[in-house]
Structure 1
Amino acid sequence: MADRPPPRGRGALIQEILKKREEERALGARPDPEEQSTEAPKPRGRAALLKKIHEKKQKLVGADPSLSAGEPSTSAHSTATSAPAHSTSSSVSTAQSTAPVQTVHTGGVQEVAEALSQVSLQEREPVFYKGEIGKPLRASSNYIRLNIQKDGGVFEYEVQFNPNIDAKNRRVKLVSTVVREQLAGIPRVFDGGSCLYLPKKITDTSQTFTATIPGPDGDQTLSCTFIYKRKKSYSDRECLHLYNCLFKRIMYILLYTQMGRNYYNTQHRYLIPQHKLEVFPGFAVSVDELEDGLMLCLDTQHRVLRTQTAYELLSELRAVDPRRFKEMANSSLIGACIMTKYNNKTYTVHDIAWDMNPMDTFPTRDGGSISFADYYKKQYEINIKDTEQPLLINRKNVSQSGSKEKVEKIVCLIPELSSLTGLTDEMRSDFKVMKDVAQYTRVTPNQRINALRTYLENIKKSNEAQKVLNDWGLVIADNPVDLHARQLDNEIIYFGNNQFQTNNNADWNRAIGEYKVTGPVDIHNWIVFFTDRDAKNAQMFAQTMQKLGPVMGCRINQPKPVKLPNDRTDTYMTYCQQHIDKYTQIVVFICPTMRTDRYSVIKKVCCSQIPVASQVINSRTLCNPQKVRAIIQKIALQMTCKLGGTLWTIRFPFKGWMICGIDVYHGSKTEKTSVCGFVASLNETVSRWFSLSMFQDKELGDYFKSAFAKALERWKTENGTFPSKVVIIRDGVGDGQLEHCKRYEIEQMEAVLRELELPVQICFIVVQKRINTRIFTEGREGYENPPPGTIVDYGITRRYLQDFFLVPQNVRQGTVNPTHYIVLHDTINLKPDHTQRLCYKLCHLYYNWPGTIRVPAPCQYAHKLAALVGQHIKKAPSALLSDRLFYL
């Protein structure tokens, strides 16, 4: 027998108690009376509920002498129920010692059910995290209130079968028959086990039903008992899942088709024939319990599909280069998302089966076999034209019934029937393609509100959709919810010799070109690598850089020019090793084209092998004489940051605080590891940064402990003492990972402080960008985007979280995306106003853009670092670059 791992948690505690009892029996010792009288721990969860039931039962016994401890069904059930859950309670111990263990009768079940229904389960109080500072704004959002009818809701019942039924399908059949024949066919949700949800309360205790269902040996008459448990809270996960399922049914009623997680109107599409594209409009739909009640979030979405099929793409690739056909096909299709229009499902292509074709057969459920061509003819009345085409392979892990283990399921797809989805990298880099697509996908606030109202009207007009809502006691509002928002004051940007007051545009692009930077760096020793075709561009670049030096407040000398004989990747590597020395401050590469392999080699050499700041420039960006000075000025600012300089600052009302940013980069599905970027401020003006990258296996960090310890030590080295407070802003954590993040990642930070014996307080904030929440303000022409600095911290925020929405940037086209902030842990006890203001200030400090950005600067720095390491360097950068923004 294999060795078992040692027990943990409750198992370890039970083992310790049993071991102690065995020792006492061996020694013949009696328990210490003082130890026996120790107060029992306060019960929680189910134990607390069962204790309430037991106490209620004791009161009933005192009120009615007939309900004595000697009555078999009552006392036995009370003992059997309460003792295991709370064995340390004195009242339960007495009952356990005096009352014999007896069989539980139906009457006992009814009495416990009655007690369960009468015990009030108090909900958690909602968390209010509201600030007060700022100018009030009237706002709206894409949330619609869902009202519950007075007698409506979700009622939970436990189902017991007599005799017991093992087969799940037979349990479902019996419950369905009972509800249809004896409960007037009211809607129900039954999990096939013992949990039943009904929209009405049919009994206060329990009720037994008898029905006849077909069995293997003929019709059988069976009975089942519905035991009332409680009315579910709308915030319970089961209820929210139920409501989301109801709206999924409504989307199907309104003829929307599900693609991925969202729903699209396939009957109403926009064609872009010049680019072989089509756009499907649709919605992202979700129901959640928020601070202001149960709400439906409805966000306009678009799905871009190519009218080209995978078969047409294969034909084009074969015509371009028959010798490299399979290689190009694998690189173009593997990892791509395709959609089969005969069932409107999306699949990811994991492989191409070159040795298979539509005439191959696969086994059927009845034990026979059928070819793929015959299957599509029989199932969908589709004739496959080319019977020699290869098949596309999709793999996914699916759960087996009755087992927790998952098995791999392989789906074979026909290229001829598979439409390509999304845009290629070539399309994304084409300005004309993106402009034409944006005409349909870039939606203004007014258009979003109109689409939302049209959706509500369609629900009102559909009797079938109204019946779904009425069956479960739901009433949908006629308009989106109104919000009370606030706008924070605009910030002042401080440069080396001047300051700039921002406005609602939230950018200082003009000011950065006129004022000196806050922390200039002289560039004395630098190298420019270029090929012969870019000799003029290199000379012009060097001259312009020298002229920009005084404007920025620094001195830039003539660089050392190095002409490369060709643009091969090994040439760049060889010349770097020959010309870069320890005195070189920064190297600039002017490349004739942008190639990923060349860029990766340059970054690997300059970030790991020969640590030096590097700048890669596409020569095409230097060919426009009208914009070249502005472009080179931005490059010069970027180079200043990579050398440890600072461009601008803002004022922070605290001293001795360290600000950290965390983000994780995930590569392709074939890459097993992810890269975590950890960035921490080094000074009180939050303008210099210490950066670390770590390789890990999951989104949630495993190595934050060492990174956090190094950041604290580096802060002490720079400032002479440890920081008094630390604010950590974490990007990339979804709702399902919040609890794990709280227990695991924050605990790593606290463990470091305990080991170093530091009385440092921590505030841990999670940032979420990929959300469907939209915020609008009322303007002269209807609805418009809110101004930068808009805060929404009530109404549509989470019911049990300290969270708020912030709109930090100005958007001229389309609809702005707010950012969701969740304060997950806070021993600093920051006020909501202070946290909101701090997050908004940090959105001003990203040196790659002279304006506010969507997330705080440390998160964006961490994102850039993790992406550079994960995509190109593939190893940890040199520690000599850790105090510079070398990844911009």
Structure 2
Amino acid sequence: MDGKQPPFPGAPYGRGVARPISEPLVGKGGEFGVGRGFLMPISEPTVGMGRGAVPAMDVKRPDKREEMPALQSEEPEVDPMTTKVVVPGQGSSLMSMFRGMGIEPGKTWGRGAAPIGRGSAGDFGAGVQSNMSTVGASALHPEKEQQPVSFIGRGFVGLGRTVSPHMGVGRGPTSPMGLLSPISAPLSLASMPSVSEDAPAPPGTPTKAELTTESVGFIGRGFVGLGRTALPHIGVGRGTTTPPGMSPITTSSSLPGAPSITSPMGLLSPLSAPLSLASKPSVSEDVPAPPGTPPKVEVTIETVGESLKKIGTKGNPVSIASNYIAISCKNEAVFQYHVTFTPNVESVSMRFGMMKEHRPSTGEVVAFDGSILYLPKRLDEVVQLKAERKTDNQEIVIKIQLTKILPPSSDLCIPFYNVVLRRVMKILGLKLVGRNHYDPNAVVILGKHRLQVWPGYSTSIKHTDGGLYLIVDVSHKVLRNDSVLDIMNVIYQESRESFQDECTKEFVGSIVITRYNNRTYRIDGVEWSKSPKDTFTLADGSVTTFIEYYRKNYGITIKELDQPLLVHRPKERSKPGGKVITGEILLLPELSFMTGIPEKMRKDFRAMKDLTMHINMGAEQHTQSLKKLLHNINSNDEALRELERWGLCISPEILLTRGRILPSETICMQSASFVTSSSVDWSREVVRDTSISTIPLNCWAIFYPRRAADQAEELVSTFSRLAGPMGIRIERPIRIELRDDRTETFVKSIHSQLTSEPRLQLVVCIITGNRDDLYSAIKKLCCIQSPVPSQAINVRTISHPQKLRSIAQKILLQINCKLGGELWTVSVPLKYLMVIGVDVHHDTNKKSRSVMGFVASLNSMLTKWYSRVTFQMPHEEIINGFRVCLLAAVQKYYEVNHTFPEKIVIYRDGVSDGQLQTVEQYEIPQILKCFETIPNYEPKLAFIVVQKRISTTMYSYGSDHFGTPSPGTILDHTVTNRDWVDFYLMAHSIRQGCGLPTHYVTVYNTANLAPDHLQRLTFKMCHLYWNWPGTIRVPAPCKYAHKLAFLCGQYLHSEPAIQLSEKLFFL
């Protein structure tokens, strides 16, 4: 159009508005690649995908998508891309570490199963065919049957995360018109080099691929982003709206005489000259700009991607509340600057001092770490200040340069907000103890138990799918009235001969608080050779005694001058500037107070009842406590001023939203089935109806000390009466009465019996008291040396005649499980499915070593389980042992079913948010690689991380009343993680306290499991823990893995015998 801008009379104009095109957008094979939704040239004519499925251009394979009657969503999945392109999901045998950047030699796959990146067919969607283009598939225009019209990636285009917004395809949704605006000149891409090499074009290839003669700047919500690509000139990625108030974007053509185009953030103006990208440098190169190009400014704009598809539909809607409080930020952005000092200033404290002198220029509100400065306001692009170094009067030039513009909800801003919140809590008079804030003025004294309880709050700020939220949970700190010195005196009176050993056993590993500064410390040792009369060196180099130090600094007079000192060894930490801080901290027992509940008190039912009255809050009390904190913040002028400095405003109300209650499940037994009640408890049904399968107990032995003979006889008689109605056949046992209850007596007798009677199916031991040493010895003998299922019973458990019947029933069910029997199941309509649970426990014997428990299902009913254990040192990766266990489980599945599992669902416990990327990028590729050892085997895989230690709390809500959510309550929006497909599930029933859900994060999913499928399958798995006739908080295989890892890490300290791997011997 000869460089003239076309008029658009009456056409909409502004943010996110698309305009029509008159010609299609066409790409040739081998010229483009799609990797995570961004565009780049590649040399290989392959298809590069990120987080999506890869179109198969040469092989047609049927789309194997299993019918799931009970899990299937009611809404049919309609794929607008039909016939010509077949998507094999993520069934490739190789997981690319480059996440579909178009540079791998084969097919790549990521998180989703959606075709072509994360998208589906574009607006034309009439049909799809392959044109051997690495961009993906192209929609066929209805009127021009063989003319490719549009690139497909969710059917929309945008600027993406690219520094140069010349073109991009991102996540911006198209306008209702679904079309592109015209440009007035061709866009040349043919001469662009590939990512990996400058490969010559094949013969016959045109030198220019003119995409269109009338096309234009791409619109996707009007945003600019960085682009996860090595070539930012063409950005196709996760763009979202940039902060309002940003300066216009200027783009310039590389052709001589072409004018620069300045456009508002919402829309790019039409180009009046061809836009050549071939000559643009890569990110790492510094190539001189052509004459007339505006100066290059190294400023990046961080953007946030839109939420993933994670919301399910199954279940009944319900009103729920959560301990999330909305935070709004009035600031348009947070600005990051790089600060340089010339000549260089090594001292970080001196840098802080120099920056403080220039508060009039930077403002009062700053966050500075020595080189990076964050401000809530924008300065000039480059600011130069001068300061004088006081040590040598040298003039220092301070250069402050803008490097990044962050939206207020950026993850980089959250640490500042948490610092602001900490200041607010201090203004309210709360004391920081550890990471939480407590109110010592509201202390509750439990004089009878010599305890005091400090009420308080744990707080954090997090960005979720619903925006920026403050998460507040009620916390209680239990402190003892007795100091460590008082407890030492008690120990001395009770055991003078082994005093030091008993003190070490009591205190090492415990947490103490020093009330003069409200700081907590972990005790790593006791220094018996030192006392408060010893000296130490202060930071300024002066030497003083402990007695003098506490008198001068805290006004405390030390009374006991010969007491030993407690040792705390803090972890190595680095200060800004690279200085590493190491050493020991010595504490006085007289000034240190134990925290937590004493072990003796935990075994005292009445004492624990008194304590739980104060620390276990119901939903109504919990929400009232949260509202009280919010009221205190919003009614305190000083606290509001502190928030206002960063433009923050905290809502006075907690979050109210909508969730769902999943349908009740049907429990299936041998000849009966029933729907679970609202309390999800089937303890009556499980002893009334026959289990799915029972193992006859023909040969078993019971060992007991002489003083427990009556209880043993009564237990055996009760077993005989109850076994028949429960469908269990049980013979009379071999009785072995022991002369005493010493560990050696038990072990010697059991070993002798196992040697003389090799057909022995079960060993039952009745022990007196809580004897960890005896329990450990019995389990080592029966799990490692002479593998046989064993059952340890405390004599106190069976000493109450009125409770013996119900206790004996539970013991019989547990014994049946240990022998290989099956109790109950639920319907899971997935054929050839394997469900795996993984958990990690730290070995108490060798604290640096950890143990991984692995439990996998072996049949379609999910009633047969295979278990393994691996140990690893800190420098060893858990995945090494995981691969061994996984391959063994798959082989065992084949032995049982004569086929390999087609779908594998892994529930991995013990992974924090910070480790999710590591799991995705390292563990999962290793898992996929291990399948290559089995010829022609490519199972579908879903990997779900299970998080129990979370601060999220849910409440049911109705008629201004807060209660405990019903089992099966799901929340899969608003409070969920914006980077992952995740949900919160409250599977278990709570009689006292608040609703503590479990967080499930789907890190990887090629099993074609939609959000509804994942949620319902997870809820079903929470019904299958046979040690409890009801639902539990985590899926059953996770709980089994935890029990196994705990047994091995706490008592066995070794791998159990392989002969027990197909039995739940660890229950």
TM-score greater than 0.5 by the shorter chain: yes
Q: Map residues 557-576 of structure 1 onto 2, 5 A cutoff.
A: 557-576=731-750
Which of 710, 714, 726 is equivalent to 2:892?
714
Contact 1:305 1:419 in 2 (8 A): yes
Moved more, 454-463 or 392-401: 392-401
After TM superposition, the structure 1 = structure 2 runs for residues 573-584 of structure 1, keeping only pairs within 5 Å, are 573-580=747-754, 581-584=757-760
Separation in 2, partners of 1:55, 1:653: 56
The aligned residue for residue 373 of structure 1 is: 547
Cα separation, 2, equivalents of 1:722 and 1:168: 60
CA contact (8 A) 2:705 2:738 kept: yes
Pair 1:198 & 2:372 matched: no
Trace 1:29-178 onto structure 2 (pairs within 5 A).
35=199, 45=228, 47-49=230-232, 56=251, 62-63=257-258, 85-87=283-285, 95=288, 111-113=295-297, 116=298, 122-149=303-330, 151-178=331-358
Partners of 1:718 and 1:594 lie apart in 2 by 40
Report the counterpart of residue 771 of structure 2 in structure 1.
595
Quote the Cα distance in structure 1 between the aligned partners of 2:251 and 2:1034: 53
Matched, 1:216 2:391: yes
Task: Show the counterpart of 2:864.
Answer: 688
Tell me what 2:924 maps to: 746
Structure 1 SS opposite 2:506:
helix
Report how far residue 217 of structure 1 moved: 2.6
* 2:670 counterpart (496, 521, 532): 496
Matches within 5 A, 1:165-564: 165-178=345-358, 180-183=359-362, 185-193=363-371, 195-203=372-380, 205-208=381-384, 210-218=385-393, 221-401=395-575, 406=580, 408-564=582-738
SS at match of 2:442: coil
Give the number of aligned pairs: 818
- The separation in 2 between residues aligned to 1:212 and 1:408, in whole angstroms, is 33
Q: 1:783 to 1:401 in 2, by over 3 A?
A: closer
CA RMSD of aligned residues (A): 2.7
**Matched AA of 1:172:** F
What are the superposed Cα offsets for residues 815-856 of structure 1, whole Å, 9 maximum, x if unpaired?
A: 121000000000112110010000000000000011000000
Find the aligned partners of 1:524 and 1:235 in 2 and give their Cα distance: 66
Deviation at 1:365, TM superposition (A): 2.7
- Compute the displacement of 1:277 (Å): 0.6
Q: CA deviation at 1:385?
A: 0.2
Rounded to whole Å, the distance in 2 between the matches of 1:642 and 1:662 is 20
Give, in whole Å, the separation in 2 of the partners of 1:639 and 1:574: 23
Q: Any conservation in 2 of the 1:400–1:406 contact (CA below 8 Å)?
A: yes
Separation of aligned partners in 2, 1:124 and 1:254: 36
From 986, 1009, 1020, the equivalent of 1:807 is 986
Task: Return the alpha-carbon distance in structure 1 between the equivalents of residues 519 and 807 of structure 2.
Answer: 45
Verify: 1:755 aligned to 2:933, yes or no. yes
Q: For 2:905 and 2:1022, how far apart are their aligned partners in 1?
A: 15
User: In structure 2, the residue corresponding to 1:393 is in which secondary structure?
Assistant: strand
**Change in CA separation of 1:485 and 1:400 when aligned onto 2, cut-off 3 Å:** closer
What is the alpha-carbon distance in structure 1 between the residues aligned to residue 945 and residue 197 of structure 2? 50
Distance 1:828 1:45, change over 3 A: closer
* Deviation, structure 1 residue 449: 1.1
Match of 2:785 in 1: 609
Name 1:736's counterpart in structure 2: 914
Asked if residue 661 in structure 1 is aligned to residue 837 in structure 2, the reply is: yes
**Match of 1:489, SS?**
coil
Q: Indicate the larger mover: 340-349 or 253-262.
A: 253-262
Residue-by-residue CA offset, 1:175-210 (whole Å, 9 max, x unaligned): 2222x2334x330111211x211111233x3333x3
Q: Which amino acid aligns with 1:217?
A: D
The residue identity in structure 2 corresponding to 1:811 is I
3-state SS in 1 of match to 2:893: helix
Of 395-404 and 715-724, more deviation after overlay is shown by 395-404
Distance 2:795 2:907 in 1: 37
CA contact (8 A) 1:676 1:701 kept: no
- Report if the CA contact (8 A) 2:301-2:405 is conserved: no
CA distance in structure 2 between the partners assigned to 1:602 and 1:406 by the alignment: 47
Q: Report deviation, 1:473.
A: 1.1
Residue 794 of structure 1 pairs with residue 973 of structure 2: yes
Alignment equivalent of 1:769, drawn from 948, 953, 961: 948
* Partners of 1:588 and 1:319 in 2: CA distance: 39
Structure-1 separation of matches of 2:301 and 2:1051: 58
Shift in alpha-carbon separation, 1:816–1:120, aligned structure 2, 3 A = closer
**Match for residue 876 of structure 1?**
1055
> What's the counterpart of residue 863 of structure 1?
1042
User: Cα distance 1:62–1:282, how it changes in 2: closer, same or farther (>3 A)?
Assistant: farther
Residues 574/157 of structure 1: CA separation in 2 closer, same or farther (3 Å cut): same
8 Å CA contact retained: 1:128, 1:794: no
* Structure with the higher fraction of residues in helix conformation: 1
Amino acid at match of 2:680: A
What residue in structure 2 maps to residue 74 of structure 1? none
Aligned twin of 1:15: none
**Displacement of 1:254:** 1.3
On the 8 A contact 2:319/2:958 being kept in 1, the answer is no
Residue 716 of structure 2: SS of its match in structure 1? helix
Q: Aligned residue for 1:824?
A: 1003
CA, structure 1 residues 717+477, in 2 after alignment: closer, same or farther (shift >3 Å)?
same
CA contact (8 A) 1:731 1:767 kept: yes
Residue 635 to residue 176, structure 1, CA distance change in 2 (3 Å) = same
Deviation by residue 1:370-393 (Cα, 9 ceiling, x = unmatched):
000100001100000000000001
Is residue 141–residue 482 contact of structure 1 (8 Å, CA) maintained in 2? yes
Equivalents in 2 of 1:862, 1:319: separation in Å? Answer: 43
> Counterpart in 2 of 1:621?
797
8 Å Cα contact 2:1022-2:1031 kept in structure 1:
yes
Write the distance in 2 (CA, Å) between the matches of 1:868 and 1:509.
26
The 8 Å contact of residues 529 and 563 in structure 1, kept in 2 or not, is answered as yes
Deviation per residue, 1:536-592 (Å, 9 max, x gap): 111111111111111111211100101112211111111112111321111100112
8 Å contact from structure 2 (residues 303, 406) kept in 1: no
Change (3 A) 1:153 1:471: farther
How far did 1:498 drift? Answer: 1.8
Q: Measured at CA, do residues 606 and 672 of structure 1 come closer, stay the same or move farther in structure 2, by a change above 3 Å?
A: same
Query: Is there any run of 5+ residues in structure 1 with no aligned partner, and where?
Result: 1-8, 11-31, 66-80, 100-106
Cα distance 1:51–1:34, how it changes in 2: closer, same or farther (>3 A)? closer
Higher relative contact order (CA 8 A, sep 6+): 1
- Deviation at residue 215 of structure 1 after TM alignment: 1.6
State the Cα distance separating 1:467 from its structure 2 match.
Answer: 1.2
2:11 is aligned to: none
Task: State how far apart, in whole Å, the 1-side matches of 2:544 and 2:853 are.
Answer: 52
What amino acid is aligned across from residue 390 of structure 1 in structure 2?
A: P
For 2:960 and 2:466, the matched residues in 1 are separated by: 28
